Amino acid sequence: MVTQDSRRKKNNILFRCDATPAVALGHLKRCLTLADVFRASGWGVVFVVAQDSSAEENLRQSRYPFSVVQSGANALEDYRLTEQTAQRYDTSIVVIDQYSIDNAYRRKLKDCGLMLVSLTDSPYTTIASHIVVSGTISDQANA
């Protein structure tokens, strides 16, 4: 018997973040926390991270599939790997928690039909994204 739920496409989400010595583990850890919530809700989860043994070990321990952006890759190579990984895992949403990804990269992902969510600590920057989540937004008028 075909039910409405069985016809529904499975949701998949991709996290693009890094955990290199330059940025530490914070970005990866907060994305892993979000990923755990999505996985518990039945979503498929995949990561794309810059080459780093600590990041890769954390992802292996968490049992998430991941792709690795090789050291020295330029922005176009990074974008291509992210877009290919999104296609391979039939991803509908990409969460970016990585400061060096510029708006041109983000627009390309949006142009592929992906819902783009950006996590940032910089509330005063324009970010090409469907949803921007900032942990630093405050009421400056009352400061």
Instruction: Give per-residue pLDDT as tens, 8-63.
Output: 446 999 999 988 777 777 789 999 999 999 999 999 999 999 999 989 999 999 99
Instruction: Give per-residue pLDDT as tens, 93-136.
Output: 999 998 888 999 999 999 999 999 999 877 667 888 999 888 77
Whole-prediction pTM: 0.85
Q: Which residue blocks in 8-142 are alpha helix, DSSP H?
A: 26-40, 53-62, 75-88, 103-111
Q: Is 2 exposed, middle or buried (0-12, 13-18, 19+ CB in 10 A)?
A: exposed
Instruction: State how far the Cα of 120 lies from the Cα of 114, in Å rounded to an integer.
Output: 19
Q: Which residues contact 135 (CB under 8 A, 6 or more apart)?
A: 119, 120, 121
